[in-house]
Amino acid sequence: MSGTSGTRTVDLVYFNAGGGHRASALALEAAILRAGLPWTVRRVNLREVLDPKDSFRRLTGMDPEDVYNKRLARGWTLGLAQELKLLQGMIRWSHSALVRSLQQHWLATEPDMVVSLIPNFNRALCESLASTLPGVPYVTVLTDLADHPPHFWIEEGLDQHLVCGSPKAVQQARSAGYAGDRIHASSGMLMRSAFHEAPPIDRAVERRRLGLDAQRPTGIVLFGGQGSKAMLGIAKRLPETPLILACGHNAALARALRALPAAAPRLVLEFTPDIARYMQLADFFIGKPGPGSLSEAVQMQLPVIVVRNRWTLPQERYNAQWVREQGVGLVCGSFAGVAQAVDALTGELERYRSATQRVRNRAMFELPEILQGIMAQAELAPIALIGG
């Protein structure tokens, strides 16, 4: 272990594909700071480590993460399950080269703990760290409610810790052969403190100020930071429903939504860091079953309407099952039936809202304590060896 006593360097590994991994890294960094741990936290974009000269961008004119994000925005998700297998095969084929590159990175940066918030690359990350900095703990924090085996989040036979945000993920870790002291259960997905500490607001006053209906049930439609063209179909099918349409970085989508005629009032948002505040103004959520936005909606006591079909990202399919298991909303086969789903949900809004209140997500407070315990265990290991 490098560093001086009490001051440690913790690396959070993420990438920008989809946006959720970076959001989790930012949330974990803030949670560590809030917990008062005497650590220096560094965010490490794996894409920059593996391609420091931006070779892919120079050849193609765009970042590989941008390719994925544009596909999400356009709804081109059919076939991603097969492409995931191809990607995983390429990662295994280039394993030795990845390990060599990462070994050089760890030798140059010397972290005291590495926390991965990404799937697919954990074997190369963990093995490269163990071979260059023995004793430095490696932790994988699943930012999905469950693994999508094989070779996605939980790789078998690694010297790592796993932080699992659902009983399903804990069971998957056990089935992969991990001992109990290497599996750490959290009560959900990491979220920013804004979703835990939203200040009270006068919803009726704020809705009127924004041109929304003060009394009628209002939905928030959200498809992550890149938006999705599916929002256009949803808006067209709900002309009588007050909506907050959050488009993220997709300015073209926002323009198209503003141009749509509607009988009910609408608020179209481009990127905003205040999603928690806008969720406070809503009564229910419509979107894809992404682990981040789904967890945020439930935290804000919004019943959800999501879809699960062949266009659903393979790693997000369990999330729809989780919605049913928890009773926090409805799962549709497609958004063609969204109007009927809204009618059914708003007809029993209090029952669904009560179910969201039973979901107690404390991951923001649990993760720093879990990591502190892992760090303390790693610091004691050399002492135990000397004593032996």
- DSSP-assigned states of every residue in 169-191: HHHHHHHTT--GGGEEE-SS---
The radius of gyration computed from the CA coordinates of the chain, to the nearest angstrom, equals 22
| 385, two tokens | 């060896």
pLDDT for res 226? 84
What burial class does residue 333 get, using C-beta atoms within 10 Å of its C-beta: 0-12 exposed, 13-18 middle, 19+ buried?
exposed
Helix, strand, coil percentages (3-state) for the chain, rounded to 5, are 50, 15, 35
Task: Name, in order, each residue with C-beta under 8 angstroms of 131's C-beta and a sequence gap of 6 or more.
Answer: 99, 103
193-357: CATH class: alpha beta
Q: What percent of the chain has pLDDT over 90?
A: 79
Average pLDDT over residues 242-252: 95
Q: Answer whether residue 387 shows pLDDT above 70.
A: no
**Which amino acid, residue 201?**
I
Q: Which CATH superfamily includes the segment(s) 8-191+362-387?
A: Response regulator (3.40.50.2300)
Among the ranges given (27-31, 84-88, 99-103, 105-109), the one the predictor scored with the smallest mean pLDDT = 84-88
Q: Answer whether residue 283 shows pLDDT above 50.
A: yes
Between residues 16 and 121, the one the model is more confident about = 121
Q: Answer whether residue 57 shows pLDDT above 80.
A: no
Report the alpha-carbon distance of residue 377 to residue 127 in Å, rounded. Answer: 19
pLDDT confidence of 385, banded at 50, 70, 90?
very low
When the pLDDT of each residue in the chain is averaged and rounded to a whole number, the result is 90
Q: Show me where the domains of the chain are located.
A: 8-191+362-387, 193-357
- Same fold? 8-191+362-387, 193-357: yes
